[in-house]
Amino acid sequence: MVPQKSNMTVNGINVQVVRKDIKNLHLAVYPPDGHVRVAVPKITTDDNVRLAIVSKLSWIKKQQQDFEDQPRQSKREFISGECHYFFGRKLRLELIDRAGKPEIKLLKSGKLKMFIKSGASIKNKEKLLSAWYREELKIRIGELLEKWQPIVNRTAEECGIRKMKTKWGSCNIEQRRIWLNLELAKKPPQCLEYILVHELVHFHERNHNERFKALLFQFMPDWQARRKLLNRSPLAHEDWDY
């Protein structure tokens, strides 16, 4: 059945309500702007949804404040001297005029060289960097899957990369498919590892319940510290457009 989506306002907070075939209510606050989403069983009344949200108002406001206080990168202009993040490292971009095939090279010095035709648009530079991030992320993901699938005792049939505005990762349990946010290429390596393990553990347990947390502690005892590190890392520019 297709989930039923609607919106309601509770104490001045706009909430997206998703009714679907689940047993329990799940409330979450998402980056970058603290968007609130609640997934509920289809039979749940609006009044009961409101009561659940009201009971969590202080927690919701704290999460939204945390997102508001979290440092953000300025909008990227893709000019020489500008800083870009790569697995937690701050790299200095250097543009080099080249008429041939565009390319990106990372030097040991921490300089990120972009070889591209002079006058290329910001959009084209952005696409080039995104493609490079994607390829580098694929390599890291392959290495991590080889390490973690035997530990978690679950296998992903596919692990893809997407631009996602509200999630660091997601999975399809039936198809054994995992999707990871392209933004993870900018975060410290521990963060990517945590999100991948998080999604693999969902192949054991669908919900974020006590069993799920216990399994996470079993496989990755420091997962909470990794999550905090991810939440402290600078967010992309507010539109999350690359």
Beta bridge partners, 180, equal 161, 169
Domain limits at 180?
Answer: 83-232
Long-range contacts of 205-214 (CB under 8 A, 24+ apart): 206/173, 207/24, 207/26, 208/26, 209/24
Cα distances from 9 to residues 37, 51, 119, in angstroms, run 11, 12, 47
In the three-class reduction of DSSP (H, G, I as helix; E, B as strand; rest coil), residue 226 is classed as helix
Model confidence at 2: pLDDT above 90: no
Give yes or no: residues 94 and 155 share one domain. Answer: yes
Q: Are residues 130 and 202 in the same domain?
A: yes
- Token readout for 199 is 């999604």
Domain-located, residue 241 = no
| 97 within some domain | yes
Residue showing tokens 């968007």: 35
| Assigned domain for 78 exists | no
DSSP category for residue 185: G
Domain membership flag for residue 74: no
Number of residues written out for the chain: 242
**Using CA of residue 183, residue 184, residue 186, residue 187, what is the dihedral sign?**
positive
Q: Do 20 and 120 belong together in one domain?
A: no
Is the whole model's pTM more than 0.85, yes or no? no
Domain CATH for 137: 3.30.2010.10
50, part of any domain: yes
User: Which of residues 19, 39, 69 is at a domain's end?
Assistant: 69
What pLDDT, in 10s, does the model give residues 135-189? 999 999 999 999 999 999 999 999 999 988 778 999 999 999 999 999 999 999 9
Last residue of a domain, one of 38, 69, 100: 69
pLDDT band at residue 199 using 50, 70 and 90 as cut-offs: very high
User: Do 29 and 40 meet the contact criterion of CB atoms below 8 Å apart?
Assistant: no
CA distance 74 to 35: 21
Looking up tokens 């699938």 gives: 149
Assign 242 a pLDDT band (cuts: 50, 70, 90). very low
Same domain, 148 and 42: no
Closest by alpha carbon to 233, among 175, 194, 204, 178? 194
* Amino acid, res. 28: A
- Say whether both 168 and 218 belong to one domain: yes
Structural domain contains residue 160: yes
Residues 6+ apart with CB under 8 A from 50: 8, 10
Q: Is residue 238 part of a domain?
A: no
The total of structural domains in the chain comes to 2
Could you tell me if residue 239 is inside a domain? Answer: no
DSSP 8: E
Same domain, residue pair 116 and 51: no
66: pLDDT strictly greater than 80: no
